Each structure stands twice: as structure tokens, then as C-alpha cells.
Structure 1
């Protein structure tokens, strides 16, 4: 059984959390457990949807994969000293992924230092990546070892595919994504470095 944790926070971007949640939940439940964790037990999205979380941030420590969503609240979480204390990750045994501003959370934890990374194209996020020792690049998906970042909300589909491939294999990833792909689509990631 693989355990995937999605890290969220107040003012998260709806699509970046819910798209990943839905796609990961399409994996056979006997093979994969998916949880949303946050600093607070209830969080509210940037559009006003409030959800109950499944556990605290510290639950990410034991996950096989940790997926950081994005949103305006990512900046406050990245600057929160309790965040780094609660979330200690080990990329030698965990798959780490971030969409858009979620990349600054990986950066705040030290997992982007010396690496290329991508994020939503805004100057403040690029500045934060540079401050974390990363080299910002303009790409939909950037992978290095067990760490990946993606830019723009719909790149989350390829980021999810990458995570599933790392945890299982490409056939499981493609089969999972195919359940949501447009009718007639092959579900392949043309040009993605998986």
C-alpha cells in the first residue's frame, strides 16, 4: 500500500488540490491511500470552499509521496517557522512534487537547492525560488531524481502522472490518467521527462 499526502493550507487554489486529489483517488484503493493534510484541521480555498483535512502536516513525514498544492496561502506557510519543524521529508525514500507556488514550500524545506525548478510565472515566486538556491526555468514540468515541480494548473495532470509512475510504473500512471482524459486521447505525455 502506497501513501500519498497532499499538503494544503488556507487560500489554496481549488484546481491544484482537487485535480490531484481526484486523479490519485482513481488508483485502486487497495494499492493507494490518499490524504489531505494541513496546519489547521479545516481550510478554505481561494474561492471559499471549506474542507476538513485528514491530518496534520507532520503526517507528510511517513508518506511515500508528498504533493504540495498551490495558492496565495503558500507564501504564509513557507514563512511559518512551524512548517519546517512539522514537515521533515526524505527525498531518498519519498517522491516530492509541487504545483505552481507549492514549489516555494519545497524550496523552504531545502529540497530545491542546487536544482532546476519551475513555478507559476510571477516575479515573487521566481525570487523565492532563487532565494532557496534553485534555478528557475520556464517549463511545464521539471524533474530531478525524486523531486518534481510543475507550472500552470493543468500541468498538474503530468505531475500526477509522474508521481504515479515513480510510485508504481508507467502503465498504472497511464491507465489512471486515461480515466479522465478526453475521449480519444492517448494519455501520453509528449515531451515530458518522466
Structure 2
């Protein structure tokens, strides 16, 4: 079973959840499960969308893939000891991705120490103040840890997860379902960027 958990909290960015949840849920395998986790039974997004969680946050310890969303609520979580304690992550055995300001949470957990990253332009000063060296890229990968900068960069992070979990060929088929019609460059740009990041960290594509 490949278990993928998307971490939500109050005031998360709507698009950060909807894009990866939709695309990752298109994988039709009996041993593939995408779930939403949080500290409460429901959480409300920045734009007011109420989302019901499938499991509590502390269940992420059993996940194979963990995605941390961005949004204004991510900054509140930086000062929430219970949230940080429940978010037990292990980059040795989990794929861990942070979208936009979700990178602030990875930094607080010590998962960006000695690593470069990317983030939303609205979190650049905070990341730099924490000593993180930022790259102007949609996706930055170091082994099993990835950060995505900009809401639509979740497409790159989602592709990275699919590359690592089901392979490039199957990932391409999934993205073909959502690609803009007639835009042949859409997939090529994403594939090139993700492949370059994976190769840079010497992780083979399946």
C-alpha cells in the first residue's frame, strides 16, 4: 500500500490542496490511497472551503508520502507545539513535499538544514531570515525532500511524487488527462524540470 497524506490546517491555500489531491487521486491502483489529514475533523481554507479530514495529523508517521500545504495558516502552525509534535516526518523513508509557505514548516522541523529550497515570493524574507538559501525554481529536490514555489508549482511537485512512486511513463498518462489541449510544451517543461532535480540528487527514476 502506498499511502499519501496531504496536511491541512485552518487558512490553508485552496489551490495547494485541490491540484495535487485531484491529480494524485487519478492513479487507479488498489494499493494507492490519497488522504487528507489535520488536527481537527474539519478545516476551513483561506477562501472558505470546508474540508473534512480522513485521519488525524499524527497518522502521518505511517504515510509513504506527505505533502504540507501553504497559505496564511502555515505561519500560525509555526508557533503551535502540538501541531509540530504531531507532524512526525522521516525523510529516510518518506517522500516529503512542501508547497509554497509550507516550506516554513519544513524549516522549523529542521528538514531544510543544509539544503536549498524554493517558496512563494511572499515567504522569501522569512525563509532567508531562517538561513535557508533559496533558488528561483518551481521545484527544488534534495533526495526525498522537495519544496515547490508558487501555487501552480504544485504541478511540478505532484509530478515528482508520481515519478518516484509509479514511474515517468505512468505519470505522463496521468498528466495527459489534465493537460491543456494542444499545448505540447506543457508536459515537456514539467518533465524536464522534475527529471533534472531528481538527477541532481542521484535518485533514479523508476
Give TM-score, length-normalised by structure 2: 0.88
Q: 1:90 aligned to 2:93?
A: no
Secondary structure of 1:33's counterpart equals strand
- The answer on whether the counterparts of 1:16 and 1:99 sit within 8 Å (CA) in structure 2 is yes
Partner of 1:64: 64
Structure 1 ranges of 4+ moved more than 6 A? none
- What does residue 24 of structure 2 align with? 24
Asked whether the equivalents of residues 100 and 120 of structure 2 are also in contact (C-alpha less than 8 Å), the reply is yes
1:55 paired residue number: 55
The structure carrying a bigger helix percent of its residues is 2
Residue correspondences, number: 192
Alpha-carbon offset, residue 172 of structure 1? 2.0
The one-character-per-residue Cα deviations of 1:172-192 (angstroms, maximum 9, x if unpaired) are: 222111111112344232541
Task: Give the CA deviation at 1:29.
Answer: 3.9
| Equivalence for 2:134 | 136
Query: Corresponding residue for 1:183?
Result: 181
Cα 1:43/1:183, change in 2 over 3 Å: same
TM-score w.r.t. length of structure 1: 0.93
Matched, 1:105 2:105: yes
- Kept in 2: contact 1:35–1:55 (CA 8 A): yes
Q: Report what 1:157 is aligned to.
A: 155
What's the counterpart of residue 126 of structure 1?
124
- Residue 47 of structure 1 deviates from its aligned partner by 0.8
SS in 2 for 1:117: coil
Whole-Å separation in 2 of the counterparts to 1:57 and 1:47: 22
Distance 1:149 1:175 in 2: 24
1:38 maps to which residue?
Answer: 38
Q: Which runs of 5+ in 2 are unaligned?
A: 199-206
